[in-house]
Structure 1
Amino acid sequence: MLGDFINRIFVLALGYAYPAFECFKTVEKNKVGIEELRFWCQYWILMAFLIVFEWTGEVFISWLPMYGEMKVGMLVYLWYPKTKGTGYVYDTLLRPFMARHETEVDRKIQEIKARIWDFIFKYCQRFAVMGQGKFFEMLQYMANQSLKFKQANQVVLQKPDDPSTPNGHRDSPRMRPRPAQT
């Protein structure tokens, strides 16, 4: 557990922080060399591919003994000035692979974008329909509550016409005048 934690610290420091700082220094120089920019761009492209590969394939390779140490060693190999591993890995592995599959990757990306937009459009439509329905339900509820409130106020505000009749009704069967008997 402690070894894994230390490896993660080394990966963050040597794989991300130091190369990011070196890239920053290269970009901020007054006279930027195109080769230096190319080197750091290649490094970050390789890092992106390594992260994607590791994220999807870590289950299959993380069980190897000293996996973390090998990962740190590879990251240092990529940016270390004497080895310039980035140029070698980029030129011999990544560039030929991407050159062969660039159109296929572009097509897949376009398909995924189209699917995402379709999903978002359908989701927004459903949300609008559901929101509209809930809005009208809320208006109906408020209207019903308003009617109940009005009816309750009318009952309370009505005054009985004759205090001798129950509930103010004159033609109550108990209170009708009796016909005169002859």
Structure 2
Amino acid sequence: MKAIESPNKDDDTQWLTYWVVYGVFSIAEFFSDLFLSWFPFYYMLKCGFLLWCMAPSPSNGAELLYRRIIRPVFLKHESQVDNVVKDVKDKAKETADAITKEVKKATVNLLGDEKKST
């Protein structure tokens, strides 16, 4: 909250960078956690890694990983990512519209059946 409320936008960028790196790390961990959890001291190393990523310095781990790995990969595949996001958004809208239509139809049927029984 302090980063959002402060007039200095550098801390906003630092925390946004951290959360991007944390998100990428979480996705990677999701797919490899079963394997990684068998390593001794994995959780201690994970904690150290996350502390390094959020260290209050201009060249902390999150900044380094974002600048050297995540940003170049993202920029290389940006159009593909945009297409996937657009496709998911369109599919979600279609699904929501279909569900809304079915709920309306079920409501009309339910109310119609209720009127017949009275």
TM-score between the two structures when normalised by the length of structure 2:
0.84
- In structure 2, the residue corresponding to 1:63 is in which secondary structure? coil
When the two chains are superposed, the root-mean-square deviation of aligned CA atoms in Å is 2.0
**Correspondence for 2:52:** 77
Q: Which consecutive segments of 4 or more residues in structure 1 shift more than 4 A?
A: none
Rounded Cα–Cα distance in structure 1 between residues aligned with 2:106 and 2:85 = 31
Relative to structure 1, the CA distance from residue 60 to residue 115 in structure 2 (aligned partners, 3 Å threshold; closer, same or farther) is farther
Aligned residues: 117
Rounded Cα–Cα distance in structure 2 between residues aligned with 1:98 and 1:74 = 22
**Whose relative contact order is higher, 1 or 2, with alpha carbons under 8 Å and at least 6 apart?**
2
> How far did residue 35 of structure 1 move?
3.6
**Correspondence for 1:51:** 26
Give the gaps of 5 or more residues in structure 2: none
Instruction: Give the partner amino acid of 1:57.
Output: S
Give the gaps of 5 or more residues in structure 1: 1-23, 143-182
Rounded Cα–Cα distance in structure 2 between residues aligned with 1:126 and 1:26 = 44
Which of the numbers 19, 40, 45 marks the counterpart of 2:15?
40
* Greater share of helix: 2
Rounded Cα–Cα distance in structure 2 between residues aligned with 1:26 and 1:134 = 51
> How far did residue 132 of structure 1 move?
1.2
Rounded Cα–Cα distance in structure 1 between residues aligned with 2:110 and 2:6 = 58
Alignment of 1:116-155 (within 5 A): 116-142=92-118
Rounded Cα–Cα distance in structure 2 between residues aligned with 1:112 and 1:29 = 35
**Correspondence for 1:97:** 73
TM-score between the two structures when normalised by the length of structure 1:
0.57
Query: Based on CA coordinates, which of the two structures has the bigger radius of gyration?
Result: 1
